[in-house]
Structure 1
Amino acid sequence: MDKVGILGGTFNPPHLGHLIIANEVMCSQGLDEVWFMPNQEPPHKEKSNAASNRDRIEMLKLAVDTHPGFKLELIELERQGPSFTYDTIKILKENYPQKQFYFIIGADMVEYLPKWHNIDKLLEMITFVGVQRPSYNLETSYSILYSEVPEMGISSSMIRSRLKKGGSIRYLVPDSIGNYIKENHLYES
């Protein structure tokens, strides 16, 4: 049975922190692949400086193209309405019964697990893998795995803020994504 990690997020834009997390979890947990799963922009996130779904997909294609074990999974973008992880995993398990799924989450989401929709059923379907994020705690009463990753303060919102001010994002995103952002005038003020 193939072991597949899922790394979800808005990836607006994808950055080196995402790639490092995916690679570190893949290696430490012995995963065969990591699927990057972009989701719809949540209502609580700032919309004014966001890239389109098409641009986020194109940037993710550039990001995953550099690693043979990284793939793109668009199920969350293709679905309409609110998207709960439970519903997504249910569909993925039906579509890929030969895969064992590992859902990669940051410490911020580890703290939030008690509030997840159908968390008890979800824990029966997948294995969560928690990774440290600055200023968050990885402790939980739920049975999850942990992977050590280098702590970085890189975030998509920081990158968007720098670009809005005309700052440099060199070494924060792969060069191919930096070029895509520049060529398509994304995140400018």
Structure 2
Amino acid sequence: MKNARTGLLGGSFNPPHIGHLRLCIELLEQAELDTIQLIPAHIPPHKKVDNILPFDMRCAMLEAAIQDHPELSVNRMERERTGPSFTFDTLQTSIDRSPDTNFTFILGDNDLLTMEKWYKGKEIGMLCDLTVAGRSGADPAELDIFINSFWNVKRHNTGRWDILNGGTVRYFSVPILDISSSMIRSRWLSGKKIDWLVPQTVKVYLESYSQEIRKTWQA
């Protein structure tokens, strides 16, 4: 019998913001997860890397952001990777290290619709469960069409699909917060206030290392 239900949420977290944290709270409750591990990418495979803060800085901000939420943790496993942080590799490593944990990979509805372009995208659904957050307003009917065409599934009537010889895909509607790391970077660089867009601990961190952060984000 497997142990805790653990969600895995990857991203660049450049910087982390309240959208990331609110998503975690929603899924801890709705998906009845026991814990969520936030996994910063060391080398994001699909993003410009010139303006991404060093890995350790992003981890430190994220740890400061979640310090009052013991059910959330930061996993620094991507530091060990020399190449791009592909989701399939991250999941496989997590499963190999903790075979008794019931992992579910957290992704947005818009991300799900692009999985056919991911590295081993189809195989991801064979490794573990998928928890899909409807945070971008994608049409549920479009999601259903994609899931049924991408995998061999048994569809349920409750936002759930069972992948044959694989995991389970579950869909949850969460509040849509129109917040992004790129927007926060732009506001911060232009001297605008970012209060209530990021946790206070992240704001303090940005101010403490403002010179180094500004140099990177302006690259």
TM score, norm. by length of structure 1: 0.91
Aligned pair partner of 1:171 in 174, 179, 196: 196
Q: Structure 2 vs 1, CA of residues 68 and 59 (structure 1 numbering), >3 Å: closer, same or farther? A: same
CA distance in 1, matches of 2:139, 2:56: 34
Aligned twin of 2:9: 7
Q: Which amino acid aligns with 1:82?
A: P
Q: Is the 8 A contact 1:160 1:187 kept in 2?
A: no
CA distance in 1, matches of 2:95, 2:45: 27
Q: Is the 8 A contact 2:135 2:174 kept in 1?
A: no
Aligned twin of 2:44: 42
How many pairs are equivalent? Answer: 189
Instruction: Give the % identical residues.
Output: 33
Aligned twin of 2:83: 81
Aligned twin of 1:114: 116
CA distance in 2, matches of 1:47, 1:119: 22
CA distance in 1, matches of 2:35, 2:122: 25
**Which stretches in structure 1 are left out of the alignment for 5+ residues?**
none
Aligned pair partner of 1:65 in 64, 67, 70: 67
Q: Structure 2 vs 1, CA of residues 25 and 135 (structure 1 numbering), >3 Å: closer, same or farther? A: closer
Q: Is the 8 A contact 1:111 1:137 kept in 2?
A: no
Q: CA deviation at 1:43?
A: 5.7
Q: Give the alignment of 1:94-133 within 5 angstroms.
A: 94-133=96-135
Aligned twin of 2:183: 158
CA deviation string 1:103-137 (max 9, x = no partner): 11112211112222223332122111111233644
Q: CA deviation at 1:50?
A: 2.9
Q: Which amino acid aligns with 2:28?
A: M
**Which stretches in structure 2 are left out of the alignment for 5+ residues?**
152-160, 162-168
Q: Which amino acid aligns with 2:101?
A: K
2-11 vs 130-139, which moves further: 130-139
Which protein has the larger Cα radius of gyration, Structure 1 or Structure 2? Answer: 2
CA deviation string 1:129-153 (max 9, x = no partner): 1112336445132542112211110
RMSD (CA atoms): 1.8
Aligned twin of 1:93: 95
TM score, norm. by length of structure 2: 0.80
CA distance in 2, matches of 1:90, 1:100: 13
Q: Which amino acid aligns with 1:80?
A: T
